[in-house]
Chains A and B, each alone.
Chain A
Amino acid sequence: DAGVIQSPRHEVTEMGQEVTLRCKPISGHDYLFWYRQTMMRGLELLIYFNNNVPIDDSGMPEDRFSAKMPNASFSTLKIQPSEPRDSAVYFCASSPGPRRNIQYFGAGTRLSVL
């Protein structure tokens, strides 16, 4: 299995631009999680999906952030408009039910907003 695949690996953009991060979970996994990692706040859960349905988005910082999962093999995290404080590494993870707590992480997208 190829594991969780994220793209792009690096993204540099200017403040105000729209940013879209992409994730392909491991085939057969029912749960998908988006995290943000920063030096100041560590790893934060932003949102997670079960069977393509958003279950808990309480970690999404602002309305500028949105996430979708149109099918079982693809999810996006969008920031519009982006701000410098959004600079971070964004991870996607997937988990098989019923061992839902075991999460497998992608390599991450390093986002720099100038």
Chain B
Amino acid sequence: AQSVTQPDIHITVSEGASLELRCNYSYGATPYLFWYVQSPGQGLQLLLKYFSGDTLVQGIKGFEAEFKRSQSSFNLRKPSVHWSDAAEYFCAVGASSDYKLSFGAGTTVTVRA
């Protein structure tokens, strides 16, 4: 079964600074990979996804992620964060053999002025 590890529980970043959130997955074949964002009191919103092809994926809100098979990673980046990026971010992995997603524990991002 697939699994996801998000090593950082909480990250604080200054507004305008860059952001990188780490995600490591475990899966025997090529995974489907996702990043979701959850604002307080809201549901999860899909930021970006990777199925195949170009390993650098662009998403909404200026986010991008890079799939590195050799490192089993799918890290999320943003060059310059805005105060509105304060939220919880979830990495998820899915398999081609079923329809389920396995989510990481999440990383909470705080943005300071």
Residues on A lying within 8 angstroms of B by beta carbon are: 4, 31, 33, 42-43, 45, 48, 50, 55-56, 91, 93, 95, 100-108
List B contacts of A33 (CB < 8 A).
100
Do most interface residues of chain A lie in helix, strand or loop, or is the interface mixed? strand
Q: Contacts A4-B43, A91-B44, A101-B34 known; list 8 others, CB within 8 Å.
A: A43-B90, A48-B100, A56-B100, A101-B51, A102-B49, A103-B46, A104-B46, A108-B43
Contact A42 B105 (CB under 8 A): yes
Residue of A nearest to B102 (CB): A45
What are the 6 A-B residue pairs with the smallest beta carbon separation, nearest first? Answer: A105-B43, A101-B94, A105-B44, A43-B103, A107-B43, A100-B99
Cα A102 to Cα B44 with chains together (Å): 12
Q: How many residues of B contact A (CB 8 A)?
A: 21
Q: Which residues B13-48 have CB closer than 8 A to chain A?
A: 32, 34, 36, 41-46
List A contacts of B105 (CB < 8 A).
42
Cα A101 to Cα B101 with chains together (Å): 7
Cα A107 to Cα B43 with chains together (Å): 4
In the assembled complex, the CB of B16 is this many whole angstroms from the nearest CB of chain A, namely 29
Question: Can you list 29 residue pairs at the A/B interface with Cβ under 8 Å?
Answer: A4-B43, A31-B99, A33-B100, A42-B104, A42-B105, A43-B90, A45-B100, A45-B101, A48-B99, A56-B100, A91-B43, A91-B44, A93-B44, A95-B99, A101-B32, A101-B94, A102-B46, A102-B49, A103-B101, A104-B46, A105-B36, A105-B43, A105-B44, A105-B45, A106-B43, A107-B41, A107-B42, A107-B43, A108-B42
